[in-house]
Chain A
Amino acid sequence: MNAKPKINEYFTLFLTFLKIGAFTFGGGYAMIPLIQRETVENHKWISEEDMVNMIAIAESTPGVLAVNSATFVGYRVAGFWGSLWATVGVTLPSFLIICILSLFYRSFLSNQYVAWAFSGIRCAVVVLMFNAVRKLSKSCRLDLFHIVLGAAAFLLAALTGFDTVFIILGAGLIGIGYALWNKNRASGKAGE
């Protein structure tokens, strides 16, 4: 292998993820169809099975889904530098657009009509957020234990100033404890 195709590979990765970053609104899961079309169907960088694994890994690791996928695909195609170029590609459009936007943002918001528009828009954000709650809850097992855990997190966050980091860490530990307890109980039954 000589150096030239490598550089072309980085450039293609960068451009492909630049396109994904520039043309998906809302981020996160809204990106998955486009990532799939580009990386599985067009470039054949990863297989359909890799794609499913990637979503599972992205879901089970912290962070930005778009960055998770870009790093994953980039690494598969061209190692560390591939993952770096893909990640820069997927974040650059947002970065540039928001930098430019925030220059005009204040004068934009001081306009009377814009202020009125945003008083309406905030009401739409409420709906979007409750829709997000409903969608996220589909990823959970809805048995008594998990419902109580979710409700406890809600009450701690809504009624006390408890730090969200500790709520998440605590929930992770409780989840591990519950899994261990279930495992012990199952093996205890098997031993009888």
Chain B
Amino acid sequence: MTTLLSLLELFAIFFQIGLFTIGGGYAMIPMITDQVVGKGWLTLPQLIDFIAVSESTPGPFAVNIATFVGMETQGIPGAFFATLGVCLPSFLIILLISKFFYDRFVGNFYVQGALSGIRPAVVGLVASAALTVLLSAVFGGAKLSQGLGTVLAGFSLPNFGIMAVIFFISRLKKKMHPIVLIVIAAVLGIALNALLA
């Protein structure tokens, strides 16, 4: 019974994530952080690690993260229900649009109005998620609410250095695939930690 309830909960949470994310991919991260870390299914560092894993494995990020969280919490049935949940809203909505109002949808006044508000909000949300990831990766997981002193006390110079190097590489070679950046960061992480240990 509790298993069934947890499966339904996984399904419901990922259905909600699928239903309220516009823009896909990284635009999903704020809501995933909210729900998955909020529920205690993954810790924030685990989630960040998985973002990197997901960049390095094929397929849509949403499906990857849903499968992973489902698998970690409830095994294969969990993976199935979470994946079903995250895909179902897209599937139903596109089916509905294809069937009934394909031509009218894109140009609709209200749809365009809502989107012109949602797009900048999504940018703001992803920026906030990026800040959370920054605090976790470079400031030892401190929160802004703990005050500036605590945040600065967690500052890690080696990690900041890695971030700066990756940033400059990504700016110099804009076409470089994220996987290459991840591999470079991994090598730097091992090298710096081995030197400092």
Contacts and interface: CB of A to CB of B under 8 A. Distances in A.
Interface of A: 21-29, 31, 53, 56-68, 71-72, 75-76, 80, 83-84, 87, 90-91, 93-95, 97-99, 101-102, 105, 109, 113, 116-133, 136-137, 139-141, 146-147, 149-159, 163-165, 167-180, 183
B57 A94 contact: yes
Contacts of B122: 136, 153, 168, 171
A187 B114 CA distance: 20
B53 A101 contact: yes
A52 B10 CA distance: 34
A116 to B, nearest CB: 4
9 contacts: A63-B19, A63-B86, A95-B59, A118-B49, A127-B163, A153-B128, A158-B144, A172-B115, A183-B109
Nearest to B132: A158
Contacts of B4: none
Contact of B45 (A62, A87, A122, A157): A122
Interface in B93-143: 93-95, 97-99, 102, 105-106, 109-134, 136-138
Given A60-B105, A62-B19, A140-B116, 13 more contacts: A27-B60, A27-B61, A62-B89, A62-B93, A93-B59, A94-B63, A99-B76, A120-B186, A123-B137, A124-B162, A129-B126, A140-B120, A158-B144
Nearest to B169: A127
A72 B105 CA distance: 14
B20 A75 contact: no
The dominant DSSP class at the B interface is helix
B190 A64 contact: no
Contacts of A177: 113
Contacts of B56: 25
A66 B90 CA distance: 9
Given A67-B87, A124-B181, A140-B119, A98 B22 contact: no
The 10 closest A-B pairs by CB, nearest first: A120-B189, A175-B117, A94-B59, A63-B90, A179-B113, A153-B124, A171-B121, A150-B120, A154-B124, A124-B185
